[in-house]
Chains A and B, each alone.
Chain A
């Protein structure tokens, strides 16, 4: 893309129906504010993009990542915002310290053995434990990380192919969105069995993590989100 922009300038048509920009004014136009704040107006929406189609396949329920309705998205975001505040973030550093210990153990071992170590592996494992604890209230097991890694590798290989096909056949996204209603891949379901999620929720009293933010002020049995919505949103953050 950098080479294309160097050759053709700040706007490049990269597909029959696709433009890439590298002007900050364009960034402001596309992302900063709703194009028009009235609820009936048109705006720059994620709906109809190949990324949206993939999200519809992965997540069965509404999440912060795939909710397209502006008002619903704003409400969902407002519900979760407190857990991302400055004070809440500062309060999460204990979780970081706890899981950073695995990096220390790995580097100490490498030093003792005078061996080479791959820091990416140590960082990947640490971030996985931190984020999954913040999302579900406890670290997810290694097997779930393996599932996630597999899904990530599939996406890395699949995405360029999907992009290419979508450039050639712009209707592909609509077909995928349509089919997602009938055959979601249930990738989000691979992390945690539903019964365990209920146990996690019941252990959340007094805690401040993503899960309690998603639940809002509601008790588990009185939560306005369904179990599936809770589950998918927690998974989205992972």
Chain B
């Protein structure tokens, strides 16, 4: 369920950020000559594709933090004493958009996952605040499979087609709700075939 949300969220981000879409399609179309060349191994090493995926999951993590609630055994959490039995969780959507951790936190900027040098605008971005699959003994066991599926699907669709969002009235952050997972999202598109 979460994987299909990530597919739609990524395409939505790219359709809303046409410069990123063009750059990604250039990377894909200069790397692969035929659809059959688009393999999991080939996609794994494409820098901009993987940066686009990470940036999409940062802005629109598929699962709400509350879905990962725990009961506190009585402990200090981030310098706050929390009594035993209190329900606690990390709010992923908010932490992954916190201005404390991210430069231009609400903007889709895949370069933050590529450009990490001393002169980079993103040098102070805190990757420890990027935990879309959680961590520890109950982290997402299927994350590798989910990312591979995303890489392959997006690479193949954007290699073969040009897409255009139909209607300008849909805004994911405004129109979708997320109690446990995102709902009410949609992607009406017009398609142009680039490769037969």
Q: Pick the interface stretch among B18-26, B49-57, B90-98.
A: B90-98
The residue of chain B having its C-beta at the shortest distance from the C-beta of A41 within the complex is: B73
B78 near A42: Cβ-Cβ < 8 Å: no
Q: Pick the interface stretch among A107-115, A181-189, A224-232.
A: A107-115
Interface residues of B in 74-106 (CB under 8 A from A): 74-78, 80, 82, 84-91, 93-95, 97-98, 101
Nearest-CB distance from A80 to chain B (Å)?
7
Q: Does B192 contact A (CB under 8 A)?
A: yes
Among B1, B69, B139, B166, the most chain A Cβ lie within 10 Å of the Cβ of B69
Q: 1/0 per position for B142-176, CB-CB distance to A under 8 A?
A: 10110011001100110011010010000000000
Number of A interface residues, CB 8 Å? 79
Interface residues of A in 98-150 (CB under 8 A from B): 100, 103-104, 107-108, 110-111, 116-120, 123-124, 126-128, 130-131, 134
A44 near B70: Cβ-Cβ < 8 Å: yes
B144 near A18: Cβ-Cβ < 8 Å: no
Q: How far is the CA of A95 from the CA of B80 in the complex (A)?
A: 47
The residue of chain B having its C-beta at the shortest distance from the C-beta of A155 within the complex is: B180
A103 near B78: Cβ-Cβ < 8 Å: no
B95 near A24: Cβ-Cβ < 8 Å: yes
Q: In the complex, which residues of chain B have a beta carbon less than 8 angstroms from the beta carbon of A175? A: none
A100 near B82: Cβ-Cβ < 8 Å: no
A96-B153, A116-B188 given; A73·B75 CB < 8 A: no
Q: How far is the CA of A21 from the CA of B87 in the complex (A)?
A: 11
Number of B interface residues, CB 8 Å? 77
Nearest-CB distance from A3 to chain B (Å)?
9
Q: In the complex, which residues of chain A have a beta carbon less than 8 angstroms from the beta carbon of B69? A: 18, 46, 49-51
Q: Does B31 contact A (CB under 8 A)?
A: no
Interface residues of B in 1-45 (CB under 8 A from A): 1, 3-4, 7-8, 11, 39-41
Q: In the complex, which residues of chain A have a beta carbon less than 8 angstroms from the beta carbon of B185? A: 120
Q: In the complex, which residues of chain A have a beta carbon less than 8 angstroms from the beta carbon of B11? A: 119
A45 near B70: Cβ-Cβ < 8 Å: yes
Q: 1/0 per position for A57-80, CB-CB distance to B under 8 A?
A: 000000010000010011001001
A119 near B189: Cβ-Cβ < 8 Å: yes
Q: Does B120 contact A (CB under 8 A)?
A: no
A118 near B149: Cβ-Cβ < 8 Å: no
Q: In the complex, which residues of chain B have a beta carbon less than 8 angstroms from the beta carbon of A26? A: 77-78, 88, 90
Q: How far is the CA of A155 from the CA of B149 in the complex (A)?
A: 25
Q: In the complex, which residues of chain B have a beta carbon less than 8 angstroms from the beta carbon of A20? A: 65-66, 88-91, 94
Q: In the complex, which residues of chain B have a beta carbon less than 8 angstroms from the beta carbon of A23? A: 78, 95
A90 near B93: Cβ-Cβ < 8 Å: no
Q: Does A34 contact B (CB under 8 A)?
A: yes
A116 near B190: Cβ-Cβ < 8 Å: yes
Q: In the complex, which residues of chain A have a beta carbon less than 8 angstroms from the beta carbon of B149? A: 96, 127, 130
Q: How far is the CA of A118 from the CA of B186 in the complex (A)?
A: 7
A5-B91, A21-B88, A116-B190 given; A35·B73 CB < 8 A: yes
**Taking beta carbons and an 8 Å cutoff, which residues of B are in contact with A?**
1, 3-4, 7-8, 11, 39-41, 65-78, 80, 82, 84-91, 93-95, 97-98, 101, 126, 128-129, 131, 134-139, 141-142, 144-145, 148-149, 152-153, 156-157, 160-161, 163, 166, 177, 179-181, 183, 185-193
In the complex, 14 of the A-B residue pairs with CB atoms within 8 angstroms, ordered by the A residue number, are A2-B97, A19-B89, A20-B90, A20-B91, A21-B95, A29-B75, A43-B73, A92-B145, A117-B189, A118-B188, A119-B189, A124-B4, A126-B153, A156-B181
**Taking beta carbons and an 8 Å cutoff, which residues of A are in contact with B?**
1-2, 5, 10-11, 15, 17-35, 41-51, 64, 70, 73-74, 77, 80-81, 84-86, 89-90, 92-93, 96-97, 100, 103-104, 107-108, 110-111, 116-120, 123-124, 126-128, 130-131, 134, 152, 155-156, 159-160, 163, 237
Considering the complex of A and B, which 9 residue pairs feature the smallest CB-CB distances, nearest first?
A42-B73, A119-B187, A44-B70, A26-B78, A123-B7, A127-B4, A22-B95, A49-B69, A24-B128
